Amino acid sequence: MELAADGGGVMTGDVAVLGAGMHPWGKWGRGFVEYGAAAARAALADAGVDWRDVGSVVGADTVRGGYPGYVAGASYARALGWQGARVTSVYAACASGAQAIAAARAQILAGLADVVLVVGADAAPKGFFRPAGGDRPDDPDWLRFWLLGATNPAYFGLYARRRMAVHGDTPEDFALVKVKNAAMGALNPYARYRRRVTAEEVAASAVVADPLRLLDICATSDGGAALVLSSMEFARRHGAARPVRIRAVSTVTPRFPNPVLDLPDIATDPAVAVEPPEETFRASIARAAYEEAGLGPGDLDLAEVYDLSTALELQWYEDLGLCGAGEAAKLLREGTTAPGGRTPVNASGGLASFGEAVPAQAVAQVCELTWQLRGAAGERQIEGARVGITANQGLFGHGSSVVAVR
């Protein structure tokens, strides 16, 4: 999409974020629709928009919610009360929320709807995620469990080991990520874990997948998040003179070859015969978002990244261009990614404090950017925040990054 500024400095590809709402993360023992509907009502109230004025609903699907989870958009519309809105349901694993935002934005820019409600929610099982049921010998996600025993925590551990071998990161560096994020999560009323931890506590927690310990890895959680998006013209008519705006959404796929394997890929390294691309898959996700937004890493005031493990957060620093390869631990130790630093990361507390509610987490990241850019994040507010980015990814090569500005 080619972007151009109108007379007020707003890019013609912008859409307004009129409302943001969440259901607290935790283990509540109820259905995903309840969490999503609660988040949706909160977002509508925040926007000051009546449900009957919503022209489209985009739901991020959950494969753990039975058939209603596969048609999440309609499930939420039914829970809120049928009123004739368009409905869309999308699934992209952990990138489902970003795909939902992208679909909503496209509908608004195409003139199909003035106001779109985006909702993601999940009711997660105890323990690590596993593939949906059934025998699927052609499904790499199914095969990595049955052939390799490669659970998500096992992959996180292998990736941490790679950073230790290639860049010299240490378990002590990983622990500092948890300490930072837990301190912010303690200030977030929607977070599941609201307690500060010390590096000593991280080191004393049980080993899950060497070298990562229990406090290095995010949990699975129930939770929900929702956004009310609109055209800029509707926002002006609605009285929102200066709303937070979504300027870019990146949902790119990898390029061949991909020499650093991401789950659920199981393959030999094709880079033996084919020259690898100039950047990794995750780096390409951020680059596409920057290019569409007309911004760069130096413009950021904060970032919300996908910290499935402490080591993976460090990787995102490099993939977002906040530092060079191998410099992430140094950036962390210097306080650059902490509140008061140049580019605070995971001011929400991250998945370290929330846990995974898969269809909701990319939406929740944009909720946090919205509150931060409004100056409404309370005790965890990043002073002067005007530009933020999210970074996430889903299995099977789903990119996920959103740039929001004010």
Which tens digits make up the pLDDT trace of 322-363?
A: 999 999 999 999 999 999 999 999 999 999 999 999 999 999
Tokens of 154: 């096992």
What the block records as the tokens of 174 is: 């990983």
294 domain residue, yes or no:
yes
Regarding whether 168 and 212 lie in a shared domain, the answer is yes
Structural domain total, the chain: 2
Say yes or no: 236 and 252 in one domain: no
Residue 128: pLDDT band (50, 70, 90) is confident
Q: What is the largest distance, in Å, between two alpha-carbon atoms of the chain?
A: 58
User: Is the residue at 7 inside a domain?
Assistant: no
Residue 135 lies in a domain: no
Q: What one-character-per-residue DSSP string does 350-404 give?
A: HHHHH-B-HHHHHHHHHHHHHHHHHT--GGG--TT--EEEEEEEETTTEEEEEEE
pLDDT for 125 beyond 80: yes
- Cα separation of 375 and 384, whole Å? 8
Confidence band of 4 (pLDDT split at 50, 70, 90) = low
> Do 291 and 381 belong together in one domain?
yes
- The answer on 351 and 232 residing in a single domain is no
| Sign of the torsion formed by the C-alpha atoms of 376, 381, 386 and 391 | negative
Q: How confident is the model at residue 260 (pLDDT cuts 50, 70, 90)?
A: confident
* Cβ neighbour number for residue 278 with a 10 Å cutoff: 9
By percentage, how much of the chain surpasses pLDDT 90?
80
Query: Which pLDDT belongs to residue 132?
Result: 77
User: Which residue has better confidence, 1 or 376?
Assistant: 376
Query: Contact, 287 vs 161, CB < 8 A?
Result: no
CA dist 124 and 126 (Å) reads 7
Same domain, 69 and 169: no
Average pLDDT, the chain: 93
Please check whether residue 132 lies inside any domain of the structure: no
Q: Answer yes or no: do 228 and 303 share one domain.
A: no
Question: Does the residue 10 lie in any domain?
Answer: no
List, in sequence order, the alpha helices (H) in 258-335: 281-293, 310-319, 328-333
**Are 104 and 250 within one domain?**
no
Question: Quick check: 211 pLDDT over 80?
Answer: yes
Mean pLDDT value of segment 104-109: 98
For residues 322 and 239, state if they share a domain.
Answer: no
Amino acid letter for position 80: L
Q: What percent of the chain has pLDDT over 70?
A: 95
- In this structure, how many other beta carbons lie within 10 angstroms of the beta carbon of residue 259? 12
Region 42-46 average pLDDT: 98
3 within a domain of the structure (yes/no): no
Q: 231 and 89 in one domain? A: yes
- The CA distances from residue 312 to 142, 155, 304, 351, 383, in Å, are 23, 11, 13, 11, 26
Alpha-carbon gap, residue 252 to 110, rounded angstroms: 20
Residue 259 CA to residue 283 CA, distance in Å, equals 13
The more confident residue out of 254 and 172 is: 172
Interval 149-153 mean pLDDT: 88
d(CA 364, CA 328): 24
pLDDT(10) > 70: no
Does residue 133 sit within a domain?
Answer: no
Q: Any idea what DSSP says for residue 347?
A: T
Do 375 and 393 meet the contact criterion of CB atoms below 8 Å apart? no
Based on the fold, state whether residues 73 and 198 are members of the same structural domain.
no
Are 349 and 364 members of one domain? yes
Average pLDDT over residues 253-268: 74
Domain holding 397, by residue range, is 140-218+246-405
* Any domain includes 108: yes
* Same-domain check for residues 110 and 170: no
* Predicted local distance difference test score (pLDDT) of residue 1: 36
Q: Name the residue with higher pLDDT: 72 or 273.
A: 72
User: What's the CATH code of the domain at 145?
Assistant: 3.40.47.10
On the question of pLDDT at 9 being above 60, the answer is no
Region 286-315 average pLDDT: 97
Q: Please give the residue that has the higher pLDDT: either 346 or 139.
A: 346
